């Protein structure tokens, strides 16, 4: 009798959400900054290049993330951030109206500041910088009062951004 057919090769297991490796270290210039007085910085982890915390009361989180290429595009990223604090998406015209361009040593930064009054405590200030084929995201999120209190120093941090 003929030999039974060989068992099919096992299919590759799909990656689990927790199995996603962190992004590769960015190539080219690295973003650097000067922390405002009293702020603390910690090493990145997972998707983060770095984390920082201002000395304010309340829930607040500062992060620096770098992704290769356009990282999905400006509109998609801004709408993802808006969704994180419960705001509806913008179209291209709304994106342009919300964008503030700030000069830094790193070049022009696209800065956004969103707050959701219907979801108390939700505010986000974020900037995008591009260099050497990478997109850098610098964000401050958390309670509206905490983010508001830290915003002036965050803007100083953004002004100090530079590529080395």
**Given a cut of 70, is residue 157 above it in pLDDT?**
yes
Q: Is the pLDDT confidence value at 162 over 90?
A: yes
Element (H, E) at 108: strand 107-116
Contact (CB, 8 A) for 62 and 33: no
What is the pLDDT averaged over residues 70-80? 91
pLDDT at res. 76: 94
Within a 10 A sphere around the Cβ of 46, how many other Cβ atoms?
10
Residue range 93-152, pLDDT digits in tens: 999 999 999 999 999 999 999 999 877 668 989 998 888 888 999 999 999 999 999 999
Q: What integer pLDDT is reported at residue 131 of this predicted model? A: 85
In this structure, of 1-5, 44-48, 64-68, the range with the lowest mean pLDDT score is: 1-5
**Residue-wise pLDDT tens digits, 22-63:** 444 556 678 999 999 999 999 877 789 999 999 999 999 999
Average pLDDT over residues 74-94: 94
Asked if 124 contacts 153 with a C-beta cutoff of 8 angstroms, the reply is no
DSSP string, 6-52: PPPPPPPPPPPGGGPPPPPPPPS--EE--PPTT-EEEE--TT-SEEE
With H, G, I as helix, E, B as strand and everything else as coil, classify residue 101.
Answer: strand
**What is the rounded distance in angstroms from the CA atom of residue 128 to the CA atom of residue 138?**
7
């Amino acid at each position: 009798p003929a030999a039974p057919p060989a068992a099919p090769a096992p299919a590759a297991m799909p990656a689990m959400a927790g199995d996603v490796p962190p992004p590769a270290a960015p190539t080219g210039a690295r973003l650097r900054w000067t922390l405002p007085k009293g702020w603390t910085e910690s090493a990145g982890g997972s998707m983060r290049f770095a984390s920082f915390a201002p000395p304010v009361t309340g829930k607040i989180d500062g992060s620096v993330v770098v992704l290769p290429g356009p990282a999905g595009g400006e509109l998609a990223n801004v709408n993802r951030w808006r969704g994180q604090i419960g705001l509806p998406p913008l179209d291209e015209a709304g994106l342009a109206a919300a964008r503030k361009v700030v000069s830094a040593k790193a070049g022009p930064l696209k800065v956004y500041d969103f707050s959701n009054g219907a979801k108390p405590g939700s505010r986000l200030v974020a900037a995008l910088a591009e260099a050497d084929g990478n997109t850098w995201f610098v964000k401050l999120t958390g309670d509206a009062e905490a983010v508001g209190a830290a915003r002036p120093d965050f803007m100083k941090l953004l002004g100090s951004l530079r590529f080395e």
